[in-house]
Amino acid sequence: MTEEEQILRVCSAFQLRGEYRSYETITYGHINMTYKVYFFRDGEIKDYILQRLNTYVFKNPVEVMENTIAVTEYIRKKIKETGVSAKRYVLHYQRATDGEYYTRTEDGGFWRCSRFIDDSVSFLRAETPEVMEEAGRAFGEFQLYLSDFPVEKLHIAIPHFHNTVMRYETFRESIRADACGRVKDVLPEIDKCLEFEETATAMYKMQRGGELPLRVTHNDTKCSNILFDKDSLRHLSVVDLDTVMPGLVGFDFGDAIRAGANTADEDERDIKKVSVDMEKFEAFTRGFIGAVRGSLTANEKKSMALGALTMTVECGMRFLTDYLDGDKYFHIYHPDHNFVRARCQFALADDMIGKMDEMNEIVRKYCEE
Ligand code: GN1
Ligand code: MG
């Protein structure tokens, strides 16, 4: 079966009406396979997003969908209560013929389908401080929408996802196993990662010690996980809800900085180009802290910048671990992709260490405003 035939089969399971026109592959994500499909109905193009969930990463995809539906329904209700139509502000998933929000294919595929939000765009990286500030508002608002969500209803989609202590253990196991004989080629990066250990595990330990509260968090706050209105560039909806779980607000803040405030791409080879763009850092802080400020504890406020460093080190460590394991987790587009990504994250983390005081000062300023 060709890819297109498979896509058509999935579309028919979701009873997408109208005449099929075409599809395109969206290559942003590192985990799931994402396609946009175009149908023609009532004189108009209707577009949908089809995703094949990565079941190596998400061992229990049904639970992932239960979380996603619970969260989107919760947000939809809140938006509707304000008298606004939620259509463009939260994802709408389609039911398959059997009533479930997913369908399976014979080759073991697990698929879901949502309507494409009209006139929306997303960005791999925030090109301007204005987009970063809007991204801050989007994730801050998301945090507020879910602040009273019943946490016990959420499944843990990936256990220990931001448990940096355990991430270091796994990293050491991968070094010991050296499954692909790559350890000898990446010794400086391994050392670098280990150097960060004390700092990068501090927040997790604070949470365990009761110094930082668990909240419902998104856990993958890349700029590419926000849809913006294509004209006004106002945020519409947060997407990719696969990892919504209890977590630390500083990690949601921090991962957005890691992904959005880097002066280079996540997989930049030339690490001289990698640094934190402080204007974008400040813009995101203004948007995010402006939205959540009132709900933060004193320790949370103090931990935001450390959250950025923690997420950057953790992400670098995850890329490097996957490189050592033989690239089983993240999609790669060339053989040393995970290694290049890891080296870039560590360079960004180095730059953050030098800018820690400045970052903390900016956060403090917006918390007090
Ligand atoms: C993955 O699926 P995607 O590309 O949005 C990963 C995140 C990483 C990110 C790095 C479930 O996100 O944790 O931070 O890549 N998602 C999962 O770009 O592991
Ligand atoms: Mg994701």
Tell me what pLDDT residue 223 has: 92
243 C-beta closer than 6 A to ligand 1: yes
317 C-beta closer than 6 A to ligand 1: no
Q: Is the pLDDT of residue 27 over 90?
A: no
236 C-beta closer than 6 A to ligand 1: no
What distance in Å separates the CA atoms of residue 309 and residue 164, rounded to the nearest whole number?
12
Residue-by-residue DSSP string for 188-207: HHHHHHHHTHHHHHHHHHHH
Distance from Cα 317 to the centre of ligand 2, integer Å = 17
Q: Is the pLDDT of residue 369 over 90?
A: no
Instruction: State what percent of residues in the chain have pLDDT above 90.
Output: 96
Q: Long-range contacts made by residues 78-81, C-beta under 8 angstroms, separation at least 24?
A: 78/145
Tell me what pLDDT residue 240 has: 95
Nearest to 25 by CA among 16, 15, 35: 35
Residue nearest atom 18 in ligand 1 by C-alpha distance: 30
Nearest ligand to residue 54 Cα: 1
Nearest to 140 by CA among 231, 218, 245, 241: 218
Distance from Cα 28 to the centre of ligand 2, integer Å = 10
CA angle 68, 105, 48 (to 5 degrees): 50
Distance from Cα 367 to the centre of ligand 2, integer Å = 29
Atom index in ligand 1 nearest the CA of residue 255 equals: 14
322 C-beta closer than 6 A to ligand 1: no
Tell me what pLDDT residue 67 has: 97
36 near 16, Cβ under 8 Å?
Answer: no
Nearest ligand to residue 256 Cα: 1
Written as six digits, the tokens of 224 are 């590419």
Tell me what pLDDT residue 1 has: 87
Q: Which of 58, 124, 222, 331 to mutate to test the pocket of ligand 1 (most atoms within 8 A of CB)?
A: 222
Tell me what pLDDT residue 293 has: 85
Distance from Cα 68 to the centre of ligand 2, integer Å = 12
Tell me what pLDDT residue 294 has: 87
Atom index in ligand 1 nearest the CA of residue 30 equals: 4
Distance from Cα 183 to the centre of ligand 2, integer Å = 27
- 8 pLDDT band, cuts 50/70/90, is very high
CA angle 150, 156, 161 (to 5 degrees): 125
Query: How many residues does this entry show for the chain?
Result: 369
Instruction: State what percent of residues in the chain have pLDDT above 70.
Output: 100
221 C-beta closer than 6 A to ligand 1: no
pLDDT by residue (tens digit) across 209-226? 999 999 999 999 999 999
What distance in Å separates the CA atoms of residue 319 and residue 314, rounded to the nearest whole number?
9
Distance from Cα 278 to the centre of ligand 2, integer Å = 25
Q: What is the mean pLDDT of the chain?
A: 96
pLDDT by residue (tens digit) across 234-280? 999 999 999 999 999 999 999 999 999 999 999 999 999 999 999 99
Distance from Cα 265 to the centre of ligand 1, integer Å = 15
Residue-by-residue DSSP string for 219-240: S---GGGEEEETTT--EEEE--
pLDDT by residue (tens digit) across 69-120? 999 999 999 999 999 999 999 999 999 999 999 999 999 999 999 999 999 9
pLDDT by residue (tens digit) across 290-326? 999 889 999 999 999 999 999 999 999 999 999 999 9
- Which whole number is the average pLDDT over 165-176? 98
Q: Dihedral of CA 179/181/184/189: which sign?
A: negative
Residue nearest atom 19 in ligand 1 by C-alpha distance: 31
Tell me what pLDDT residue 106 has: 92
